[in-house]
């Protein structure tokens, strides 16, 4: 199992809950603004975190945490992810999955098995522009399929867009909106340039608050609730 990191307690990553964080190595995108570049580009520089030790940590914490956030990298790439989630659920803990949504069949299986309590689905730009997020080919129909699973399903979720200049402009918000029409919650996050995977993005100026509020107004025409984060 490609677990590369563990953080005992966080109040931030699982809305309304106290959680431990588990990080998987590897990703099927190389987003230029990724904030975990080493986990994505060179995950093998970190040793795998042993499952037994992780479960022991969670067992010791379960009286004061509500759940576990599974993040990365991209956790759905690991064929052993369901095994971990079954163990976490058997401890009576909730699970939040952070995913880029490019593996809708995995998402569907995890939802069907009742292994997810909350999903944060990244919607990075207009689906037709996903090719800009990777050096290899990207299946552009995968993200809309994952979004529909959540919109039509029963698991609590949020869609999440980091508003990176050049990747997220008003036309992209409209194109994403058409894809996720009817969703419950769409979070628009401010872009923080430092630590970006691509050097040229580290100096880029983030969109102003006024621009993000304009995006929120547009997004509100497609979904029930828009949340601005990081302003």
Report the interface residues with ligand SF4, using CB under 6 A.
Answer: 27, 29-31, 34, 36, 40, 72-74, 100
**Residues 29, 138: contact at Cβ < 8 Å?**
yes
Shortest distance (Å) from residue 39 CB to ligand SF4: 7
Shortest distance (Å) from residue 34 CB to ligand SF4: 3
Shortest distance (Å) from residue 212 CB to ligand SF4: 19
DSSP assignment, residue 150?
H
Rounded distance between C-alpha atoms, residue 85 and residue 115, angstroms = 6
Residue whose CB is less far from ligand SF4, 53 or 198: 198
Q: Is the peptide bond before 73 cis (omega within 30 degrees of 0)?
A: yes
Residue whose CB is less far from ligand SF4, 85 or 121: 121
Residue whose CB is less far from ligand SF4, 29 or 183: 29
* Triad 118, 120, 121: Cα angle to 5°: 130
Residue carrying the six token digits 């029930």: 224
Residue whose CB is less far from ligand SF4, 94 or 161: 161
Helix (H) or strand (E) holding 218, with range, is: helix 209-219
Residue whose CB is less far from ligand SF4, 120 or 173: 120
Shortest distance (Å) from residue 164 CB to ligand SF4: 10
Residue 103: C-alpha distances to residues 13, 46, 74, 115, 200 (Å): 22, 24, 10, 16, 29
Q: Which segments of 39-196 are extended strands (E)?
A: 67-71, 94-99, 118-122, 156-163, 185-190
Rounded distance between C-alpha atoms, residue 103 and residue 105, angstroms = 6
Shortest distance (Å) from residue 207 CB to ligand SF4: 18
Shortest distance (Å) from residue 205 CB to ligand SF4: 20
Residue whose CB is less far from ligand SF4, 48 or 224: 48
């Amino acid at each position: 199992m490609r677990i590369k990191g563990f953080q005992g307690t966080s109040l931030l990553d699982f809305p309304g809950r106290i959680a431990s964080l588990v990080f998987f190595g590897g990703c099927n995108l190389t987003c230029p603004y990724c904030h975990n570049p080493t986990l994505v580009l060179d995950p093998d520089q970190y040793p795998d975190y042993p499952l037994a030790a992780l479960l022991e940590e969670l067992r010791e914490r379960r009286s004061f945490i509500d759940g576990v956030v599974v993040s990365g990298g991209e956790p759905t790439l690991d064929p052993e992810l369901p095994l971990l989630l079954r163990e976490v659920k058997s401890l009576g803990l909730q699970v939040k999955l952070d995913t880029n949504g490019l593996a809708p069949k995995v998402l569907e299986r995890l939802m069907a098995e009742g292994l997810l309590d909350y999903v944060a689905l990244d919607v990075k730009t207009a689906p037709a522009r996903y090719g800009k997020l990777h050096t290899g080919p990207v299946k552009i129909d995968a993200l809309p399929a994952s979004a529909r699973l959540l919109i039509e399903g029963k698991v609590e979720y949020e869609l999440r867009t980091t508003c990176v200049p050049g990747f997220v402009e008003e036309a992209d918000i409209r194109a994403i909106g058409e894809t996720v029409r009817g969703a419950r919650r769409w979070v628009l996050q401010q872009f923080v340039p430092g630590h970006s995977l691509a050097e040229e993005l580290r100096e880029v100026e983030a969109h102003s608050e006024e621009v993000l509020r304009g995006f929120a107004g547009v997004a509100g025409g497609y979904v029930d609730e828009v949340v601005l984060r990081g302003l």
